[in-house]
Amino acid sequence: MVKIVIALLLTVSLNANFKKDCVACHKSKGVSLRKAFMDALLVYGGKKNFKTALFYYCKNPVIFNSVMDEDLVKKYTPLKPITIDDDELKKLLDEYWEKFKVIGNLK
C-alpha cells in the first residue's frame, strides 16, 4: 500500500499538493490512504520512524522495501523513484502524518 502511495506521489509536481495530488490519485486508484497509513504504522510505530521509513521508500520504491500486501504492490510494479524535492516530500509526509495520526485521536 505504501508503495502505491509513493507511486502516486511520484506523479506530483514540484509544488505538490496533498489533497489535490495524493488524495485524488489514491482515490482514483481505489487505494485507501488511511489503510496504507495504518499498515505502515503497524510496522514503523513512532512519528519520526514512520516518516523516515516512508521517505526512504519513496526514494527506493522496490518490493522488498514495502510493508504492503505483496499482490497489491506487484500490481503497481515497477515503480519509479520519486523525483520531487526532498523538502517538498517531507512536507507531504508531515501532512500525511497529521491527517491520519492516532496520537490525540483516541478517547
Partner 1 sequence: MLNSEKKTLRRFFAIYTILVITLIIAVSMIYYKSSSERMKLEYKTLMQDFAILQTKRLKWLHNHFPRYKKYPRDDRYNSAIYDLEYNEIFSTMKSRDINFNKNLYFTKNYVIYFTILSDYYLGAKYLFIEIPKNSALIDMIYKKIAIFSAMALFVFLIIGYFLAKLFIKPMRESIKLLDNFIKDTTHEINTPISIINTNIEMLDSSKFTKRENRILNRVKIASRTLETIYKDLKFTTLENGNVVKNVKFNLKDLLLERVEYFSLLIESKKIKIVLNLDDFYIEADSNLISRLVDNLISNAIKYNKINGEINITIKDKKLVIKDSGIGIKKENLDKIFKRYSRFNSSEGGFGIGLNIVKQIIDIYNLKVDIKSEENVGTEVTIIW
Q: Footprint of partner 1 on this chain (CB under 8 A)?
A: 34, 38, 41-50, 101-103, 105-107
* Closest CB 42 distance from partner 1, rounded Å: 5
* Closest CB 95 distance from partner 1, rounded Å: 17
Task: Closer to partner 1 by CB, 41 or 79: give it.
Answer: 41
- If phi > 0 it is left, if psi is from -120 to 50 it is alpha, else beta; for residue 28 that is alpha
CB atoms within 10 A of CB 92: 23
Task: Closer to partner 1 by CB, 46 or 81: give it.
Answer: 46
Tell me the C-alpha to C-alpha distance, in Å, between residue 79 and each of 33, 58, 75, 104.
17, 9, 10, 34
Greatest Cα pair distance, the chain, in angstroms, is 41
* Closest CB 36 distance from partner 1, rounded Å: 13
Task: Closer to partner 1 by CB, 20 or 34: give it.
Answer: 34
